[in-house]
């Protein structure tokens, strides 16, 4: 039996902003993409919390998820993820409890321990809060309590929130969250779409430390995968230059506004920058449908992943939708 037979595929939307479109258009594109991938048969649609980045419009993650949920019907929606050090667990429990009450069995919550921003922005977000990544295990435990059944001695409750049992995932790009997710018996999503270096070790650590829980009886691994699928390898490589330019801008501390594709990256990056971008996108799957299908099969052979969550960050929205359509067609027609 093919490894693709039981594979679930999902979407991670970075809600990219173009200079000639602005955040409002980016948010409308996000809803359109959610509707399209729902139609294509994708399992879930996640958006990530980022701050102080002019090219990413998903900072108010819970608000955006409400907009997406109201405009879709069946696809699961979640945070990939909420950066918990930026927030009091009670606030997140209330936000996602509200979403879960409005859209039952469709909302889930991925949690990260990084700020998702620079230190100055992190301080602006927290103000008087002393939250940090070191508090992450305790914050996760507190959040789980708020979303679970109310206990007789519980003085603080989340309304809405308590007893909604919003599914919680732990996200990570290193080994810390892998171990914590295993020990807590939670599903684990590795950020291999931008940090593939520790992917294999993180999966091993997660599975080695896994303890069954009420949430999960066996390990469940989802991997982030950058992708650009087009009718030909040549066209996919051309479209991917927008992705390269965006990552290059991130590394240089420049604007992250989307840039149109170019015929060649020669002259736009230095040799060491090309190498750094290639490392960042080490797991990227770029090419025709059949080429990408082969790469997916190799990844599954190497990792045994249960689910792949794809991100596709192209200049033209129509090209992005088409990439997800072609990917679904080739993986689902196996």
- The residue length of the chain stands at 334
Residues of the domain holding 301: 8-332
pLDDT at 133: 55
Q: How many domains does the chain have?
A: 1
Rounded average pLDDT over 309-317: 97
Domain presence at residue 70: yes
Residue ranges with strand state E in 126-269: 168-172, 188-190, 221-229
The model's pLDDT over 209-245, given as tens digits with 9 standing for 90+, comes to 999 999 999 999 999 999 999 999 999 999 999 999 9
The answer as to whether 163 is a domain residue is yes
Peptide bond just before 81 cis, omega within 30 deg: yes
Do residues 204 and 300 touch, judged by C-beta distance below 8 A? no
pLDDT number for residue 115:
63
Poorest-pLDDT segment among 132-136, 164-168, 241-245, 297-301: 132-136
pLDDT of residue 169: 97
Task: Note the pLDDT of residue 179.
Answer: 96
pLDDT digits 0-9 by tens, 138-184: 999 999 999 999 998 899 999 999 999 999 999 998 899 999 999 99
135 pLDDT more than 60: yes
Residue 251 has pLDDT above 50, yes or no: yes
Q: How far apart are CA 324 and CA 283, in angstroms?
A: 17
Average pLDDT of the residues of the chain? 93
Tens of pLDDT, residue by residue over 16-47, are: 999 899 999 999 999 999 999 999 999 999 99
In a domain, 79, yes or no: yes
In a domain, 2, yes or no: no
> Residue 279, Cα to own-chain centre: how many angstroms?
19
Categorize the per-residue pLDDT at 278 as very low, low, confident or very high, splitting at 50, 70 and 90: very high
Strand segments (E) across 84-187? 107-112, 168-172
| pLDDT the model gives residue 54 | 94
| Alpha carbon separation from 164 to 5, 30, 139, 178, 240 (Å, rounded) | 32, 26, 18, 25, 41
- How does residue 129 score in pLDDT terms, banded at 50, 70 and 90? low
**pLDDT above 80 (res 85):** yes
CATH code, domain carrying 95 = 3.20.20.30
pLDDT grade for 195, boundaries at 50, 70 and 90: confident
Q: Compute the distance between CA of residue 132 and CA of residue 154 in angstroms, rounded to an integer.
A: 25
* pLDDT class of 3 with cuts at 50, 70, 90: confident
Is the confidence at residue 118, as pLDDT, over 50? Answer: yes
Asked if residue 1 belongs to a domain, the reply is no
pLDDT score of 27: 98
pLDDT value at residue 209: 97
Q: Please check the confidence at residue 1 and state whether its pLDDT lies above 50.
A: no
Cβ 96 vs Cβ 62: under 8 Å: yes
Whether 162 is covered by a domain: the verdict is: yes
């Amino acid at each position: 039996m093919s490894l693709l037979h039981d594979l679930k595929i999902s979407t991670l939307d970075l809600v990219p902003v173009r200079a000639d479109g602005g955040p409002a258009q980016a948010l409308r594109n996000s809803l359109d993409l959610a509707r399209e991938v729902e139609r294509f048969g994708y399992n879930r649609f996640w958006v990530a919390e980022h701050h102080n980045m002019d090219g990413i419009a998903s900072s108010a993650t819970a608000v955006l998820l409400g907009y997406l949920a109201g405009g879709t019907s069946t696809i699961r929606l979640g945070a990939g993820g909420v950066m918990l050090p930026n927030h009091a667990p009670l606030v997140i429990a209330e936000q996602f409890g509200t979403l879960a009450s409005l859209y039952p069995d469709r909302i889930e919550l991925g949690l990260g321990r990084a700020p998702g921003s620079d230190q100055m922005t992190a301080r602006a977000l927290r103000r008087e809060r002393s939250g940090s990544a070191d508090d992450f295990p305790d914050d996760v435990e507190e959040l789980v309590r708020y979303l679970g059944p109310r206990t007789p001695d519980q003085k603080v409750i989340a309304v809405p929130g308590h007893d909604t049992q919003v599914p919680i995932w732990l996200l990570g790009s290193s080994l810390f969250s892998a171990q914590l997710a295993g020990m807590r018996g939670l599903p684990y999503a590795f950020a291999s779409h931008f940090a593939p270096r520790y992917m294999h070790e993180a999966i091993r650590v997660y599975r080695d430390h896994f303890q069954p829980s009420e949430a999960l009886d066996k390990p469940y691994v989802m991997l982030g995968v950058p992708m650009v699928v087009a009718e030909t390898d040549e066209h996919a490589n051309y479209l991917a230059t927008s992705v390269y330019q965006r990552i290059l801008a991130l590394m240089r501390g420049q604007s992250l506004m989307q840039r149109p594709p170019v015929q060649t990256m020669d002259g736009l990056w230095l040799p060491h920058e090309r190498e750094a971008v290639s490392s960042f996108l080490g797991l990227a799957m770029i090419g025709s449908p059949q080429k990408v299908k082969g790469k997916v099969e190799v990844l599954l052979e190497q990792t045994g992943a249960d689910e792949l969550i794809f991100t596709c960050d192209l200049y033209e929205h129509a090209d992005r939708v088409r990439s997800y359509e072609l990917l679904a067609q080739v993986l689902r027609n196996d």
